[in-house]
Chains A and B, each alone.
Chain A
Amino acid sequence: MRQPVGLFSSYTWARWRPDGWSLGVFAIAAFTAAPILAVVVLALTSSPDIWAHLAATVLPHYIHSTLVLMTGVGVGAFIIGTGTAWLTSAYTFPGKAVFEWALLLPMAVPAYIIAYVYTDLLDYAGPVQSVLREVMGYRNARDYSFPEIRSLGGATAMMTLVLYPYVYLLARSAFLDQSNAVLEAGRVLGCGPWRNFFTIALPMARPAIVVGVSLVMMEVLNDFGTVDFFAVQTFTAGIYDVWLNMNNPAGAAQLATAMMVFVLLLLAAERIGRKNKRFDNVRRSQPRSKTRLTGVRGIIVFAACLAPVALGFGVPVWVLGKYALRFYETSLNLSLLTSALNSLMLSGIAAFAAVALGLFMAYGVRLNGGRAIKSAARLASIGYAVPGAVLAVGVLLPLARFDNAIDAAAREYLGFSTGLLMSGTIFAVLYGFLARFMALSFGSAESGLARITPSMEGAARTLGASRWSVLRRIHIPLLRGSLLTAVLLVFVDGMKELPMTMLLRPFNFETLATFVHQYASDEMLEESSLAALGIVVAGIAPVIALSLSISGSRRQ
């Protein structure tokens, strides 16, 4: 491999020195990956009896419901995401220009919020069943059967509705990148539109779709709010249960490790799915020609695209908006404002810290493209694949040990107790956020840097620009967009984040997410709707940014 001469490498005198960037990358990677390593170490070193007990009692149940949930949501998201992506990239029909971005909107709604909303709508006392009873003349639940929303099936439906945009996003850009000529060749060789889709377009987009579906499955593993509310016993719910209700951190760590094996298998499957499957290097010759759908077919396609947007975004926002308007006098109170402020502060600090550290790592990797540094950076990005509950275990355990050690030392040598310095502080929550969201900021910075080809750097250098001048005149202006996107992504994920905040927050410290969770779990959706709406509104910003950046890159 060619080693481009970097911005900050020791340059005028060509002898190697250990440079600050490499050391910095290793330090950040160690910091970010420490929680994961802590979980594994604790799980492997603590006594095995709890594990045997778990295996005999709840573990099979955890595995079963987790697998069913992952498969169900994966399949659902695949069908909705790929289908709508194909419709909006191969056809024109009424409303298509709006659907292109509107199909992303459900991404802004956290799964737990949509779960609260649909429970409110669909349970026995809710408007849907009331109307049904009214119209059909039923008197009570024994007169008719209605699917129970608070079930495994309900959780699958809820998560599918808000997670399919991941598949949609990746599948759509894969479809748009496909060469028109290849699809036309299929038509000329006698494939109808359906066969063309199944034999050419879909296999060519497979790597992107596999990535999308595995992202969805990781989000399923990460979810805590929905499964907790629906009382579905998944791994994540189990970790929470074993830790807090059984008061057994070692058992929680063991469960968490088992879950990480799950995630690693998923990651490996995704890798294998992508291996040697780079179909995407076909150059686009001309813009895609799109078939116009009118009449009945146009209406069917319109309805097919409208349904996921309406169910995943329209209904929850409508319900929350209605409640928010009706109850804002009681719900707009000091505790809501404090929660909102806490959310903003936490997410804001996390966003800027993650982006600063991510950019530093991405630079380090670019400057010294050695294997060790690349592996370190990859290790630091693994947190995003690890469910929040697992990371929370991993953050809390070492911090507690650290606190106890300091406290013991202080008592022994100084004669007073320091108490717990780190555990249960905002620092712990922030640490969890960084460990989980570093992948987002690192990935954005890395892809931003990748667009700056080494020859651009070389061009600037041969034109007389010094290292710092290249940074100022080339890198920063070209990176601004991707860094802003990264700040936004981390910020919004922070606003939505529930499982880690629940486990790591200081006593009585509420964010919007925990606020909503607390009220809605007690069936007081009305009081929390304003907060829930706030989270959704914050989540719309990156959706807009994403669709703008996609259409922008298509224009060039």
Chain B
Amino acid sequence: MSILKFDHVSHAYDGNAALDDVSFNLNKGEMICLLGPSGCGKTTLLRLAAGLEVLQHGRIKMAGKTIANAGTGLCTAPEKRHIGLCFQDFALFPHLSVMSNIMFGVAAGVAKRKRWALDMLAKLGLEGRAEDYPHMLSGGQQQRVALLRALAPEPGVILLDEPFSSLDANLRAQTREETLSLIKTTGSAAMMVTHDAEEAMFMADRILVINKGRIIQTGAPAEIYSRPVSPFAASLFGPVNRLDGVVRNGRAETSLGAFAAPGHGEGTKVQVLIRPEGLTPVPEADPQTSPCTAQIVSAHFLGGVSHLHLCQKGNKELLHIDCQARVPGTYLPRPGANIAFKVDSAYVYIFPQSAANSAPEPQ
């Protein structure tokens, strides 16, 4: 049921590799998200799929038919691919009305698609704006028009390039909900590029984590979140506490306790990543549940959660740990107070020390 297939695709700009041996499948009706930091090659991948970039290495198939093959030099023109692309800057045509923009790519069944477009405009809160021009619309409205324009010719695949990045936070949440349901109702397969992990988890059936032009992990959102393959993949999904540890008796020993480290050799140095959500305050230290104590540096109320900045007592070097505790109500101990907490091993990821170097810069 593969509708779009990348086969060992590599690409470089002026000798700088943008994609390195990338292969994957997009299945019918599926939504996949390419997640990675800026400049990791995500956008190149979309442009190659759309035919806006000439393929350098590998093969791209659509619905079983080869549309680009670097070996033979075949590169089907973008207008023949029937792929919809929604641009980051929307790329609405400034000289055409909203309706003319949406209908730009519709070749057959114009009247029917026009009714569809009017219907959709009304549904998306743009009733009566069909004859307006793009500059008269707000950013969120432009985004919706760009999406409708890409969907109007009923493409087999729709590609979205950071579609919500120019919208503010509130609008983004609402717009991505609308976008997802709109795409799901049309039934077309979709591939979206983003650097926002929450957005990827919200939208995707499957996430492809990309770093330096390579796909380093593929899986459902929950799977990638809970079983990242590298410190890089783990830190894409939010802040982590990084600790150094040494494996003894099959457990990685750190200043926050020892954690089961299957597969790591005895005596090896490891890097232990703990999500802030994994630290839970407990009433008092209990040696049974591997307890730790630490001093509060600061505590902030963030609405749903409280954000605690801790440092561990007794160490010469201060060990700073960011901790978000899910405490009912408001949990705001005074700075300087000592608290006890336990660590949930589901939020602990252990990697060999050598993997530590490939962590991304904090964004």
By the criterion CB–CB under 8 Å, are A461 and B54 in contact?
no
Asked whether, in the complex, the Cβ of A461 is within 8 Å of the Cβ of B79, the reply is yes
Q: Which residues of B contact A47 (CB under 8 A)?
A: none
Point out the residue from B53, B74, B83, B95 that lies within 8 Å of A462, measured CB to CB. B83
| In the assembled complex, B276 has its CB within 8 A of some CB on chain A | no
Q: Is A466 an interface residue (CB 8 A)?
A: yes
> Which of A6-14, A26-34, A527-535 is near enough to bind chain B?
A6-14
Which stretch, A408-416, A450-458, A491-499, touches the partner chain B? A450-458
Contact of A459 among B14, B55, B74, B87 (CB under 8 A): B87
What are the residues of chain B within 8 A of A473 when measuring CB–CB? 104
- Which residues between 55 and 91 of chain B lie within 8 Å of chain A, taking CB atoms? 55, 73-79, 81-85, 87-89, 91
Q: Does A79 contact B (CB under 8 A)?
A: no
| B105 engages A5 (CB within 8 Å) | no
Kindly provide the distance from the CB of A455 to the nearest chain B CB, expressed in whole angstroms. 4
- Of the candidates B52, B74, B77, B104, the one whose C-beta lies within 8 Å of that of A463 is B104
Q: A241: shortest Cβ distance to chain B, in Å?
A: 52
Q: Point out the residues of chain B lying under 8 angstroms from A463, CB to CB.
A: 79, 84, 104-105, 149-150, 153
Q: Are the C-beta atoms of A462 and B79 separated by less than 8 Å?
A: yes
8 Å CB contact of A1 from B14, B47, B53, B76: B14
A-contact 0/1 string along B144-188, CB 8 Å cutoff: 000001100100000000000000000000000000000000000
In the complex, the answer to whether B77 meets A462 with C-beta atoms within 8 Å is no
Give the distance in Å from the alpha carbon of A556 to the alpha carbon of B73 in the complex: 44
User: Could you say which residues of chain B place their CB within 8 Å of the CB of A453?
Assistant: 89, 91
Counting CB contacts under 8 A, is A2 at the interface? Answer: yes
Which residues of A sit under 8 angstroms from B81, Cβ to Cβ?
A: 462
A14 close to B54 (CB less than 8 A)? yes
B36-60 Cβ-contact flags toward A at 8 Å (1 or 0): 0000000000010011111100000
Contact A465 B91 (CB under 8 A): no
State the Cβ distance, A473 to closest chain B Cβ, in Å: 8
**Is A4 interfacial (CB 8 A cutoff)?**
yes
Of all chain A residues, the one with the shortest Cβ separation from B76 is: A12
List residues of chain A with CB within 8 A of the CB of B150.
Answer: 459, 462-463
| A458 contacts B89, C-beta separation under 8 Å | no
A460 interface residue, CB < 8 Å from B?
yes
Report A453-508 residues with CB < 8 Å from chain B CB. 453, 455-456, 458-466, 469, 473-474, 477-478
A461 B75 Cβ-Cβ under 8 A: no
Q: Please tell me if the beta carbons of A4 and B52 are within 8 angstroms of each other in the complex.
A: yes
Given known A455-B88, A459-B87, A459-B91, contact A465–B54 (CB-CB < 8 A):
no
Residues of B within 8 A of A451 (CB): 94
Question: Nearest-CB distance from A222 to chain B (Å)?
Answer: 36
**Chain A residues near B1 (CB, 8 Å)?**
none
Is there a chain A Cβ closer than 8 Å to B93's Cβ?
yes
Kindly list chain A residues whose C-beta atoms are within 8 Å of the C-beta of B89. Answer: 453, 455
Choice from A2, A14, A456, A458 contacting B78 with Cβ under 8 Å:
A458
Contact A458 B52 (CB under 8 A): yes
A13:B73 contact, CB within 8 angstroms = yes
Task: Tell me, rounded to whole Å, the shortest Cβ–Cβ distance linking B171 to chain A.
Answer: 18
A12 and B93: CB pair below 8 A? no
| Distance between A476 CB and nearest chain B CB, rounded to angstroms | 10
Q: Digit string of B80-116 for contact with A (CB within 8 Å is 1, else 0)?
A: 0111110111010111000000001101000000000
> A14-B54, A459-B85, A465-B105 in contact; A478/B75 too (CB < 8 A)?
no
Asked if residues B50 and A462 are in contact (CB atoms below 8 Å), the reply is: yes
Contacts of B73 in A (CB 8 A): 13-15
A372 and B76 alpha carbons, distance in the complex (Å): 29
| CA A21 to CA B227, docked complex, whole Å | 53
CA distance A5 to B53 in the complex (A): 6
A479 to B14, CA, bound (A): 31
Expressed in whole angstroms, the minimum distance between the Cβ of B77 and any Cβ of chain A is 5
What per-residue 1/0 map shows which CB atoms of A332-357 lie under 8 Å from chain B? 00000000000000000000000000
Given contacts A464-B79, A474-B93, contact A5 B54 (CB under 8 A): yes
Query: Please, which residue of chain A has its CB at the minimum distance from the CB of B83?
Result: A462
Residues of B within 8 A of A556 (CB): 135
Is B78 a contact of A462 with CB atoms below 8 Å?
A: yes
A466 touches B77 (CB 8 A): yes
- State whether B51 touches A459 (Cβ < 8 A): no
Give chain B residues whose Cβ lies under 8 Å from the Cβ of A3.
13, 53
Q: Which residues in A have their C-beta under 8 angstroms from that of B79?
A: 461-466, 469
State the CA gap A525–B40 with chains docked (Å): 70
* A-side contacts of B74, CB under 8 Å: 12-14
Q: How many residues of B contact A (CB 8 A)?
A: 35
Task: List chain A residues, Cβ under 8 A from B149.
Answer: 459, 463
Closest chain-A Cβ to B132's Cβ sits at a distance in Å of 13
Q: A453-B89, A464-B79 are in contact. Are A458 and B104 (CB under 8 A)?
A: no
Within the complex, the shortest CB–CB distance from A5 to chain B, in Å, comes to 5
Q: Residue among A2, A466, A473, A477 with the most chain B CB within 10 A? A: A2
A509 to chain B, nearest CB (A): 42
Contacts of A460 in B (CB 8 A): 93, 104
Complex interface: chain B residues within 8 A of A465 (CB): 79, 104-105
B75 close to A12 (CB less than 8 A): yes
Which residues does chain A contribute within 8 Å of B51, judged by CB atoms? 5, 461-462
B residues near A461, Cβ cutoff 8 Å:
50-52, 77-79
Nearest A residue to B75 via CB reads A14
CB of A268 to closest CB in B, whole Å: 28
Query: Complex Cα distance A456/B87, Å?
Result: 9
Note all chain A residues with C-beta closer than 8 A to B13.
Answer: 1-3
B105 touches A464 (CB 8 A): yes
Instruction: Report the minimal beta-carbon distance from A453 to chain B, rounded to whole angstroms.
Output: 6
| CB-defined contacts of B47 to chain A, threshold 8 Å | 458
**Complex partner residue of A456 from B55, B88, B93, B107, CB under 8 angstroms:** B93
Q: Which residues of A contact B78 (CB under 8 A)?
A: 5, 458, 461-462
* Contact, CB under 8 Å: B95 / A477: yes
- B107 lies within 8 A of A464 (CB): yes
Shortest Cβ distance from residue B5 to the other chain A in the assembled complex, whole angstroms:
19
* B56 CB → nearest A CB, Å: 9
Q: Are B52 and A462 in contact (CB under 8 A)?
A: yes
A456 cross-chain contacts in B, Cβ below 8 A: 91, 93
Q: Are B84 and A462 in contact (CB under 8 A)?
A: yes
Q: Which residues of B contact A478 (CB under 8 A)?
A: 93-95
Whole-angstrom CA separation of A463 from B155 in the bound complex: 9
The CA of A461 and the CA of B52, in the complex, are separated in Å by 8
Q: Which parts of B111-135 form the interface with A (CB within 8 Å)?
A: 135
Cβ–Cβ < 8 Å partners of A458 in chain B? 47, 50, 52, 78, 85, 87, 91
Closest-by-CB residue of B relative to A12 is B77
Docked complex Cα distance between A96 and B77 (Å): 54
Bound-state CA distance A413–B73 (Å) is 54
What is the bound-complex CA distance between A248 and B95, given in angstroms? 56
Complex contacts, A459 vs chain B, CB 8 Å: 85, 87, 91, 93, 149-150
Instruction: Contacts A4-B52, A14-B54, A465-B104 given; indicate if A455 touches B77 (C-beta within 8 A).
Output: no
* Residues from chain B with Cβ under 8 Å of A462 in the complex: 50-52, 78-79, 81, 83-85, 105, 150
A477-B101 Cα distance, complex, nearest whole Å: 14
**Binary interface profile of A, 403-430, with partner B (CB < 8 Å = 1, else 0)?**
0000000000000000000000000000
Contacts of B85 in A (CB 8 A): 458-459, 462
Output the nearest chain B residue to A5 by Cβ-Cβ distance: B52
Among A14, A15, A463: residue with most chain B CB under 10 A: A463
In the assembly, what is the distance between CA of A352 and CA of B79, in Å? 33
Interface residues of A (CB under 8 A from B): 1-5, 11-15, 451, 453, 455-456, 458-466, 469, 473-474, 477-478, 556
Q: List 15 A-B contacts (CB under 8 A).
A: A4-B52, A5-B51, A5-B53, A5-B54, A12-B74, A14-B73, A451-B94, A453-B91, A455-B87, A455-B91, A458-B78, A462-B81, A462-B85, A463-B149, A477-B95
**8 more CB-based (< 8 A) A-B contacts, given A2-B53, A461-B50:** A3-B13, A455-B88, A458-B47, A458-B85, A461-B78, A463-B105, A463-B150, A464-B82
Among all A-B residue pairs, the 5 with the closest Cβ atoms:
A463-B105, A455-B91, A461-B78, A455-B87, A14-B54
